[in-house]
């Protein structure tokens, strides 16, 4: 072959290759979506296996790419630390009945007090991050009864001998926030044992980085298919739904599996029964849905503050992951922890898309 002929052949090959790349790109993107979905499926299976191994909840922690963002491409394993019951085996808590202005006692606890000598690690004022009880954790008294969620823990008087805590009854439990007192301010009481069930922390197990521009789109991900309900709860994981002015939602979504396989808690920011915005765990009241889509189709960080009465935002007119029928839903059953994947065939209707994902059979290769 002459040099001219060789150059002609090379030029034609380059032209053919350049024209083929755009045709291959959708197929490569679809393959990457399937691979990211498979990775999530495997992570859920590994989390359930690890939970059975250690006898404590283990799950996946879905990080936001930036404060206020709905895109997540970094997922970690999360483990529940061992419960905390004081620094000594006989550590107790006092539920103190404080008299009213007339000096009368009603029998209910107005203060929850912990001895610093017995429970020094409960709260560390110099570095609260090291405290073994934090807002959002749960506490149980006398090793029985409901798990109350901690709403405050701190040192009311740095020169005093006690830490103080406030709690609220578990959401939807019907249990009263009033705790029976164990002693009065004027008398000493026996105190009762307690157990703090701590929030999950990142596990040393390897994390996963979703590649190829694929992400979990938290704008449309959430719990259940009934989107008409009002708070309390977390129907959506959307940062725009729980994003007060000046307080961008930078907290992850954590899905924890019980040793038996089911979902024990979902940690996210949500409106509680009092209408207040909080971050903590709640037992999901429906299937958990994660929409696997493309980074360029996620919504920008929200700028409009939300309120407890705000409805989830409607799908945008611009292309979104909900409207992209090549995307994939991953559905996690609450009772059994079963994970299924399905095509996004619901179009612009979130409820319909989630319902189809819930009822769909697992796609091939996952």
90-124 pLDDT, tens digit per residue, is 999 999 999 888 888 888 999 999 999 999 999 99
Task: Check whether 53 has a pLDDT greater than 70.
Answer: yes
Can you give the length of the chain in residues?
Answer: 366
**What was the pLDDT predicted at 364?**
44
* Residue scoring higher pLDDT (139 or 15): 139
* Residue scoring higher pLDDT (62 or 174): 62
User: What is the spatial distance between Cα 268 and Cα 290, in angstroms, rounded to a whole number?
Assistant: 14
* Residue scoring higher pLDDT (247 or 166): 166
**What was the pLDDT predicted at 280?**
81
* Residue scoring higher pLDDT (230 or 133): 133
- Mean pLDDT computed over 45-59: 94
On the CB side of 200, CA atoms within 13 Å amount to 32
Q: Please give the mean pLDDT across all residues of the chain.
A: 84
**What was the pLDDT predicted at 1?**
66
- Mean pLDDT computed over 257-280: 84
**CB of 148 closer than 8 Å to CB of 170:** yes
Task: Check whether 311 has a pLDDT greater than 90.
Answer: no
**What was the pLDDT predicted at 310?**
56
- Mean pLDDT computed over 172-190: 80
**CB of 112 closer than 8 Å to CB of 165:** yes
- Tokens matching residue 4: 């001219």
* Residue scoring higher pLDDT (85 or 282): 85
**What was the pLDDT predicted at 102?**
86
State percent of the chain over pLDDT 70: 84
**What was the pLDDT predicted at 20?**
62
* Stated pTM of the model: 0.77
Lowest average pLDDT, out of 43-52, 201-210, 284-293, goes to 201-210
The CA distances from residue 28 to 15, 22, 33, in Å, are 20, 10, 9
Indicate the pairing of strand 58-63 with strand 71-72. unpaired
Lowest average pLDDT, out of 75-79, 93-97, 349-353, goes to 349-353
Domain boundaries defined on the chain: 32-80+203-359, 81-198
- Tokens matching residue 73: 């491409």
User: What is the spatial distance between Cα 336 and Cα 145, in angstroms, rounded to a whole number?
Assistant: 24
Q: How do residues 296-310 score in pLDDT, each as one tens digit? A: 888 765 544 455 555
What is the CB neighbour count within 10 angstroms for residue 139? 22
* Residue scoring higher pLDDT (21 or 261): 261
The CA distances from residue 81 to 54, 90, 196, 203, 317, in Å, are 10, 21, 10, 10, 44
**What was the pLDDT predicted at 305?**
45
- Mean pLDDT computed over 357-362: 68
SS (H, E, C) the chain: CCHHHHHHHHHHHHHHHHHHHHHHHHHHHHHHHHHHHHHHHHHHHHHHHHHHHHCCCEEEEEECCCCCCCEECEEEEEECCCCECCCCCCCCEEEEECCCCCCCCCCECCEEEEECCCCCCCCCCCCHHHCCCCCCCEEEECCCCCCEEEEEEECCCCCCCEEEEEEECCCCCCCCCCCECCEECCCCCCCECEEEECCCEECCCCCEECCCCEEEEEEEEEECCCCCCCCCECCECCCCCCCCCCCCCCCCEEEEECCCCCEEEEEEEEECCCCCEEEEEECCCCCEEEEEEEHHHCCCCCCCCCCCCCCCCCCCCCCCCCCCCCCEEEEECCCCCCEEEEECCCCCCHHHHHHHHHHCCCCCCC
Phi, psi of 123 (to 5 degrees): -145, 130
């Amino acid at each position: 072959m002459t040099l001219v002929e060789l150059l002609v052949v090379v030029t034609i090959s380059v032209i053919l290759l350049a024209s083929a790349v755009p045709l291959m790109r959708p197929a490569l993107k679809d393959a990457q979506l399937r691979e990211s979905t498979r990775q999530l499926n495997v992570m859920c299976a590994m989390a359930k296996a690890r939970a059975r191994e250690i006898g404590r909840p283990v799950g996946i922690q879905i990080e936001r790419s930036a404060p206020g963002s709905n895109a997540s491409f970094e997922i970690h394993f999360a483990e529940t630390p061992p419960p905390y019951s004081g620094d000594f085996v006989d550590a107790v808590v006092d539920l103190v009945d404080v008299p009213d202005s007339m000096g009368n006692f009603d029998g209910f606890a107005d203060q929850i007090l912990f001895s610093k000598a017995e429970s020094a690690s409960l709260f560390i004022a110099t570095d609260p991050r090291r405290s073994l009880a934090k807002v959002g954790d749960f506490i149980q008294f006398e090793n029985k009864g409901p798990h109350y969620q901690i709403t405050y823990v701190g040192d009311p008087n740095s020169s005093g001998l006690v830490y103080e805590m406030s709690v609220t009854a578990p959401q939807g439990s019907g249990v009263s926030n009033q705790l029976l007192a164990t002693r009065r301010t004027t008398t000493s009481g026996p105190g009762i044992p307690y157990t703090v069930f701590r929030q999950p922390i990142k596990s040393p197990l390897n994390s996963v980085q979703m590649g190829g521009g694929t992400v979990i789109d938290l704008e449309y991900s959430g719990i259940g298919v009934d989107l008409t309900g009002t708070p309390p709860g977390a129907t959506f994981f959307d940062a725009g739904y729980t994003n007060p002015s000046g307080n961008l939602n930078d907290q992850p979504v954590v899905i924890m599996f019980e040793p038996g396989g089911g979902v024990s808690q979902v940690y996210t920011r949500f409106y509680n029964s009092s209408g207040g915005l909080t971050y903590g765990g709640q037992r999901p009241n429906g299937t958990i849905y994660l929409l696997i889509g493309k980074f360029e189709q996620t919504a920008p960080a929200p700028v409009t503050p939300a309120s407890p009465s705000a409805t989830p935002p409607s799908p945008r007119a611009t292309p979104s992951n909900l409207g992209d029928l090549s995307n994939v839903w991953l559905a996690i059953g609450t009772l059994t922890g079963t994970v299924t994947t399905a095509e996004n065939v619901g179009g612009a209707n979130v409820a319909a898309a989630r319902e189809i994902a819930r009822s769909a059979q697992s796609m091939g290769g996952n």
